Amino acid sequence: MGQYITTHEFYHAYTDEPHATRRKEILKKYPEIKQLMGHDWRMSIQVTISVIIQISVAILLREASWLKLILFAYVIGGTINHTLSLALHELTHNLAFGHSRPMCNRLLGFFANLPLGVPASITLKKYHLDHHRFQGDTVYDTDVPTRLEVFLFSSRIGKLIFLIIMPFLYSFRPMFVFPKAIHLLEILNLIIAFTFDGVMFYYFGGKTLLYFLFSTALGLSLHPISGHFIAEHYVFKEGHETYSYYGPLNAITYNVGYHNEHHDFPYIPGRNLPKVRKIAPEYYDHLPQYTSWVKVLYDFVMNDNVGPWSRVTRPTKVGRVSVPTQQEYEQQLKSTVCQAHKQE
């Protein structure tokens, strides 16, 4: 595994994130990729099926034993709730109904959020777009662990705990690192989520509600799909800060594994990301890549040269750039897509 790193320090970069530059190069060489931009309403079908399955299973398990409840919550519920959280990720980019109908994307997000048990849809959108614009920024990119996390979770046992409590870290880290004003839609998201929780508890009992919560907590922690949390940006090979996964779990996770492709073209829906690699293989085939998220999790824990510190960071642009509002950023994306199609 190489020499043990005794000083756990982030990788520091003083250049802009690499995806904007690669995007321009690829579009110049392969303008036909612009045809892949847009949205994919068919993802709403997978979301609907997933929500129906989760609600049905939760009701069926209302009188199950605790062991059976936890087992189903991990195997079935954890898998479905994690895919629903990735549907929310797609919806932060308006990839279900397009940038011209943002509220349709928000409504589908509220619906996809129901089985998660806690409100997440709008808050994810509020922070995730900054992750794309300011990848590695020590303030704006709240996907990067804090130094406190590095201090607490750098041993092998610590890294295992880090993976187990991952959903809690992702939920609370942004509020401490870069607190933002509460959006009206966040309040609406909270009301809808907790009203649904209350209805399910009232009519079907506590175990039905706990099934949703256990599914989210277990599915986003030490679960095979959770390998994408580590695989996407944790540095396993110095010089590379984004990694793609080309494995079978992409089939149920909206191709989130195609992460280099996604960061290069965030306005291309997951369904079309494999086509990006097919059109421009010379830009992706040589990059470090994964075929197993489970192996990524194992290597993260066991490799002493990798840990929460294994992220590329950049000096913050707080005070040096103006951050557009969500509406302004959506308008920018809409204009980019429209211009791309006009050039065809």
Quote the percentage of the chain above a pLDDT of 70. Answer: 90
> What is the average pLDDT across 10-38?
95
CA distance 184 to 192: 13
pLDDT of residue 318: 76
> What is the average pLDDT across 169-173?
95
Residue 340 has pLDDT above 80, yes or no: no
What does the pLDDT look like over 235-293, one tens digit per residue? 999 999 999 999 999 999 999 999 999 999 999 999 999 999 999 999 999 999 999 99
Give the pairing of strands 312-313 and 244-245: unpaired
- For 204, the token pair is 């079907």
Residue 3 has pLDDT above 50, yes or no: no
Using 50, 70 and 90 to split pLDDT, how confident is the model at 8?
Answer: confident
- pTM passes above 0.85: yes
Average pLDDT, the chain: 93
Residue 339 has pLDDT above 80, yes or no: no
pLDDT of residue 10: 96
254-260 contact pairs (CB < 8 A, 24+): 254/43, 254/46, 254/83, 254/86, 254/87, 254/89, 254/90, 256/86, 256/89, 256/228, 257/228, 257/231, 257/290, 257/293, 259/228, 259/231, 259/232, 259/233, 260/19, 260/284, 260/287
- For 99, the token pair is 């940038």
* Residue indicated by tokens 């079907």: 204
- Report the Cα 11 to chain-centroid distance in Å: 22
- Report the Cα 271 to chain-centroid distance in Å: 16
Better pLDDT: 226 or 342: 226
State the first-to-last Cα distance of the chain, in angstroms, to the nearest integer: 49
- Pair 136, 144: CB distance under 8 Å: yes
For residue 241, which of 156, 125, 144 has the smallest C-alpha distance?
Answer: 144
- For 329, the token pair is 């950023």
Residue 2 has pLDDT above 50, yes or no: no
Residue 46 has pLDDT above 70, yes or no: yes
pLDDT of residue 326: 55
pLDDT of residue 336: 53
Using 50, 70 and 90 to split pLDDT, how confident is the model at 328?
Answer: low
pLDDT of residue 115: 98
Phi, psi torsion values for 137, nearest 5 degrees: -60, 130
Segment holding 289, helix H or strand E: strand 289-290
Residue 41 has pLDDT above 60, yes or no: yes
Residue 320 has pLDDT above 90, yes or no: no
For residue 166, which of 92, 209, 233, 216 has the smallest C-alpha distance?
Answer: 216
> What is the average pLDDT across 168-191?
95
CA distance 171 to 85: 12
- For 320, the token pair is 């040096």
CA distance 39 to 232: 23
pLDDT of residue 337: 52
Total number of residues shown for the chain: 344
pLDDT of residue 6: 39
Residue 342 has pLDDT above 60, yes or no: no
What does the pLDDT look like over 78-126, one tens digit per residue? 999 999 999 999 999 999 999 999 999 999 999 999 999 999 999 999 9
